[in-house]
Amino acid sequence: MDKSWDKSVMKDAGKLTVYNGISVGKWSTVFGRTLESFNKNSKLTIKLVPSKDKDAANIEILLSSGSSSYTYDGTTYPVVFDATLAHGKTKTFDRGDGIEKAAVFLPSEPKENHVNVLRFIAVHELIHACGLDEHNNDGVFITAPNIKNGQIWAAQGSKKMPPLFFAPKTVMRLQELWK
């Protein structure tokens, strides 16, 4: 089920801040372009902007080998996923009035590690961090992408990425959450 962010988090900011907890390796090169791609494609009035303050950031991006944890508000939450596939895992945290914080875990060793695929995974997970849960059948928010030589597509005959794009249904759902 889609979930909006707590209005007190968004009140006057017009932005969500994103802390990049990945400073080494191939993943470290995709952060800036990932935020640009998200902001361009989401068509939201709210923008994702980089933050240098891990604790104050709304969203934290981390690398995981597939078994990790994240502590929020004194409670530690386990995060488990297959870190060799072309997906990550996003955990959102709320106290009933909407999301207050999100942790995005990106796979440390995806089998497909072309920079296009890494950007695809990161943008996909940021969509989850913004509140969407159920996937769509096209664009960057698909469940199981087809990948070959850095090209990504949803199904036979569908538009290939890059450039990354958001399906109209994804944009509509994001805009509905962020009114």
Domain CATH number, residue 100: 3.40.390.10
Convert the pLDDT of each residue in 95-125 to its tens digit.
888 999 999 999 999 999 999 999 999 999 9
How many percent of the chain have pLDDT more than 90?
57
**Is the confidence at residue 38, as pLDDT, over 70?**
yes
pLDDT of residue 52: 95
**Domain assignment present for 2:** no
pLDDT of residue 19: 96
Convert the pLDDT of each residue in 123-151 to its tens digit.
999 999 999 999 988 889 998 889 988 89
Average pLDDT over residues 45-58: 91
Q: Which residues contact 35 (CB under 8 A, 6 or more apart)?
A: 18, 48, 49, 50, 126
The residue range of the domain holding 35 is 7-177
**Domain assignment present for 94:** yes
Domains contained in the chain, number: 1
Q: How far apart, in Å, are the Cα atoms of 122 and each of 9, 16, 135?
A: 22, 16, 15
**Domain assignment present for 1:** no
**DSSP one-letter code for 129:** H
